[in-house]
Every structure is written in structure tokens, then in C-alpha cells.
Amino acid sequence: MTGAETEDTPDGSALKTPDRLRRRASRLLSQLSTRSDKLITEGLAAQADARKWHYAVLASLQDFGPGSQAALSERTGIYRSDMVGVLNELTERDLVERAPDPGDRRRNIITISARGRRRLHRLDKVLDDLHDELLAPLNPAERDQFVQLLTRLLDHHTRTP
């Protein structure tokens, strides 16, 4: 199609998108990000009664070991003000444990629990299925290449000078 591409909208009507918009990587990434976030958010909630931030904290603790709330905020990209709420939810579910930092008793050190490790394993499986759905049009080699390219772009744009 030249000049515009027709897309279906949720209500069944047709929406024309100019080709010049469909060729903009920034727009495509933004739209895909929105759809990806919705798929992951809804999928985790429906299939595992979880949120993406639960996964991020548990994965960080599993991969990098115990940490302070500030360290977890840095590792996961969760705002410090939001981290307390996430940790409260995880603590209530016995997925993490809080203990005073022996070096600074004003601070807590967060550790993943055995139950948290089992939960993380379950969330990995749910996310694998959701990513299969998100990347369905791509074959395995294309999926790997897509992730490598996204990683390279993100690494480039998040480098600190």
C-alpha cells in the first residue's frame, strides 16, 4: 500500500496510518512497548497474580544476591518511593525477607526466600509463554537477533559518559 497503511482498531473500524509514521523506528518501538507492557502486565496478573516489578526484584535478588532497598532500586529501575510498596507486597507473600543491615542498622537488607525462588521459577515460565505470544511472528533466529539488537541499542543509550 502506498501513502498509508490500514490498521484495524479495537472497535473494528479502519484507521489509516501514514507510511512515514510506520517507517519511524521511534514510533514503532513506542507502540510495540505499549503493547508489550499491556501483554506482560495483564498476563502476569491473570496467570500468576503478579506484577512485573515483583519479577524484577526477585530476579535481581536471585542473580545478584541480597541488597538494600536503594541497591534494588538501582538494579531494577524501580523508583525508590515505589520500592517500599513492592517490597511490602513481596514480604507479605513470604517471597523476600528483610533484616537490619549489620553495618548500618538504619538500613534493611533484602534477601530472596526459598518460596521466592520457587515463585521466580514459576514467573520465568509465565514470561516465556508471554514472550512467545509477543514475538509470535518471528522465528527463533529472528527473536534472538531482535533481542540482541534491542540490547545493543539500549546499552548505547544508557551508557554514562
Distance CA 13, CA 9 (A): 6
Percent with pLDDT over 90 in the chain: 78
Distance CA 52, CA 50 (A): 7
Percent with pLDDT over 70 in the chain: 90
Mean pLDDT of 76-88: 95
Q: Strand 96-101 and strand 104-112: pairing?
A: antiparallel
Backbone angles phi, psi at 23, to 5 degrees: -95, -5
Higher-confidence residue of 158 and 40: namely: 40
Q: What letter represents residue 98's amino acid?
A: R
Q: What is the DSSP string of 96-130?
A: EEEEEETTEEEEEEEEE-HHHHHHHHHHHHHHHHH
Per-residue confidence (pLDDT) for residue 7, from 0 to 100: 60
Higher-confidence residue of 161 and 2: namely: 161
pTM: 0.82
pLDDT digits (tens, 9 = 90+) for 8-54: 556 655 568 888 888 899 999 999 999 999 999 999 999 999 999 99
Reply yes or no on whether the pLDDT at 116 is more than 50. Answer: yes
Helix (H, G, I), strand (E, B) or coil at 8: strand
